[in-house]
């Protein structure tokens, strides 16, 4: 099973995602709200296609994942029409949660525009309560976590959020 999920991960393509009018402020650059909106759009596809914990699997599995905590780091602004690409990582997994990181980059120039870290929980739709992942979902999440386990923890996400921790140029 892990080979199947790893193949889907490698083949996952977000398509032609571009910065749209609802993602920019009056100055023509992305707002902090653009990151969660864009990540939610592409993460839904990733969750359904690769992880198989998304909305399309409720009928088959009886459960799905919900985001319960999130942190966004705006690194460099994008402009209207800029093409963006995404990198997904599963940082950690337990019986009821998975910790994810999404990195958004300018798709042509390659620089990092922002990162979003989030904790997702498993919801059983029959009880409407938090529940353990079924084995299939947990196996997929563990395979994805193992794929990137050798990589260092993302810079900036190893500290508590505070004014003292934030360097401003």
124 found inside a domain: yes
What digits encode the pLDDT tens for the residues 113-131?
Answer: 999 988 888 888 889 999 9
CA angle 13, 154, 34 (to 5 degrees): 55
Q: How far apart are CA 72 and CA 69, in angstroms?
A: 10
Could you tell me the residue range of the domain that residue 16 belongs to?
2-147
What sign does the CA torsion over 140, 50, 67, 70 have?
positive
Within-domain flag for 66: yes
pLDDT at 169: 46
Q: Using CA atoms, how far apart are residues 121 and 97, in angstroms rounded to an integer?
A: 4
With a pLDDT cut of 70, the percent of the chain lying above it is 76
d(CA 85, CA 155): 19
Residues 6+ apart with CB under 8 A from 85: 14, 17, 104, 105, 106, 107
CATH number, residue 125: 3.10.129.10
Using the predicted structure, report yes or no on whether residue 153 has a pLDDT greater than 50: yes
User: Structure tokens of 151?
Assistant: 């990589």
The answer to whether residue 100 is domain-embedded is yes
Q: Tell me if 136 is assigned to some domain.
A: yes
Does the residue 97 lie in any domain?
yes
Share the mean pLDDT of the chain: 81
pLDDT one-digit tens code per residue, 39-78: 888 877 777 666 666 666 667 778 888 888 888 988 899 9
Does residue 159 lie within any of the structural domains? no
The answer to whether position 155 is within a domain reads no
Per the domain annotation, does 87 fall within a domain? yes
Q: Is the pTM of this model over 0.75?
A: yes
Domain count, the chain: 1
Q: Phi first, then psi: what are they for 65, rounded to 5°? A: -105, 145
């Amino acid at each position: 099973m892990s080979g199947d999920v790893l193949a889907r991960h490698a083949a996952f393509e977000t398509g032609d995602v571009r910065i749209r009018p609802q993602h920019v402020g009056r100055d023509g650059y992305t707002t902090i709200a653009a990151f969660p909106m864009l990540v939610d759009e592409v993460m839904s596809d990733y969750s359904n296609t690769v992880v198989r914990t998304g909305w399309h699997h409720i009928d088959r599995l009886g459960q799905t994942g919900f985001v319960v905590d999130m942190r966004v780091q705006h690194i460099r602004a994008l402009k209207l029409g800029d093409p963006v690409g995404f990198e997904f990582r599963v940082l950690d997994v337990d019986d009821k949660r998975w910790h994810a990181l999404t990195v958004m980059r300018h798709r042509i120039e390659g620089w990092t525009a922002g990162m979003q870290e989030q904790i997702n929980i498993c919801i059983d739709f029959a009880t409407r309560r938090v529940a353990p992942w079924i084995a299939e979902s947990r196996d997929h999440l563990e395979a994805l976590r193992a794929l990137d386990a050798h990589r260092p923890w993302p810079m900036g996400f190893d500290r508590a959020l505070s004014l003292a921790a934030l360097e401003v140029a």
